[in-house]
Amino acid sequence: MVGKAAPSAGEAVEAARVAREAGRLRIAQRALDHALQSLDPRGDPDLAGRAAEEADLLGRALLAQGATLAALGELQRACALGRDGARPGLARVAGDYARWRPRAGPIGAPRDSLVAGASGAFWAGARARGRVVAIEGGITGEGTESFGRILELCARDVQWVFVDMEKLTYVGSAGLAVAVKLAERLRGQGGGLAMFAMSPNLKLLVETLGLAQFLNPAGTLLDALDLACRAG
């Protein structure tokens, strides 16, 4: 008995549209996932445009339902596929970051008062996944090992890690070296690491040490997301 053939990318995009219009957003997400797994944007720009439009509309629908991370992922995919119309929605989600910022908790370095929190995974590009990590406190002494551990945990099953540095009080060269090591590994997987909301002094240090090419210092979360978007 011959099994039913898997739908083509075009059929999957159409299935996503039908499911979205019926309010079945989870099914729409899965259909779009299938479409983008096999879609070659350069080989079929028209279909890529349809997929981008569907990702944009799906992102808006998810946002209307309060599914912030899921909406962020779809809007990010739309932007990565060249959909300029998704930019306002993406800017809205990123601009509301203070509301959904990951809640930080202890990670095993009481001496350094280092705490961290991470978001769930979301689409950071057409095929790449990402996660936001919020760090608070100082990374010194024992904190370096804890910092490395939280980065490794948060990098599981994703290609991009976006590190919120706004509430970081101190990080030494050893902590930066840990981040660079992860950044190099993620780059080898087609992704990367981006640190945003970094203090001016730390940004200057990163640039002086020649680490900006690995740590991608960005002003805001939206700026950091743009890096992943441009990478596809």
Residue 219 DSSP label: S
pLDDT at 141: 73
Pick 4 or 62 by higher pLDDT: 62
* Side-chain half-sphere CA neighbours of 78 within 13 A: 27
| 136 part of a folded domain | yes
Instruction: Please report whether residue 36 resides in a domain.
Output: yes
Work out the average pLDDT over 176-201: 96
Q: What is the mean pLDDT of residues 12-40?
A: 96
- 1 in a structural domain: no
Tokens of 188: 């080898």
The domain that contains 33 carries what CATH number?
1.25.40
Looking at the fold, whether 70 and 111 belong to one and the same domain comes out as no
> If you average pLDDT over every residue of the chain, what do you get?
92
Does 135 score more than 60 pLDDT? Answer: yes
Tokens of 62: 């998810």
Assigned domain for 53 exists: yes
64 shares a domain with 25: yes
Beta strands in the chain (DSSP E): 105-106, 115-118, 122-123, 129-139, 160-171, 192-196
**Same-domain status, 51 and 162:** no
The span from the CA of 52 to the CA of 188, in Å, is 26
Instruction: Please give the structure tokens belonging to residue 180.
Output: 């660079």
Q: What is the pLDDT of residues 39-94, one digit of tens each?
A: 888 889 999 999 999 999 999 999 999 999 999 999 999 999 999 999 999 999 99
CA dihedral sign of residues 35, 36, 39, 41: positive
Last residue within a domain, chosen from 50, 73, 93: 93
Asked if residues 209 and 176 have their Cβ atoms less than 8 Å apart, the reply is: yes
Same domain, yes or no: 124 and 58: no
**What pLDDT does residue 107 have?**
66
pLDDT given at position 33: 96
User: Considering the domain boundaries, does residue 3 fall inside one?
Assistant: no
Q: Distance between terminal CA atoms of the chain?
A: 40
* 111, 215: one domain: yes
Of 140, 145, 137, which is closest to residue 105 (Cα–Cα)?
137
pLDDT for residue 66 = 96
Q: What is the mean pLDDT of residues 138-160?
A: 89
pLDDT score of 169 more than 80 = yes
Q: Are residues 126 and 105 in the same domain?
A: yes
137-168 CB burial, b ≥16 within 10 A, e <16: bbbbeebbbbbbebbeebbeebbbbbbbbbeb
Let me know if residue 77 belongs to a domain. yes
Residue 2 inside a domain? The answer is: no
Note down the domain range covering 170.
101-231
pLDDT band at 111 (very low <50, low <70, confident <90, very high): low
Residue 1 has pLDDT above 60, yes or no: no
Look at residues 64, 93, 122 and tell me which one is the last residue of a structural domain. 93
Domain total of the chain: 2
pLDDT of res. 145: 86
The dihedrals phi and psi of 156, each to the nearest 5 degrees, come to -65, 130
Sequence-separated (6 or more) residues with CB below 8 Å from residue 152: 182
Return the minimum-mean-pLDDT range out of 105-114, 130-139, 144-153, 212-221. 105-114
Give yes or no: residues 72 and 153 share one domain: no
Same domain, 88 and 117: no
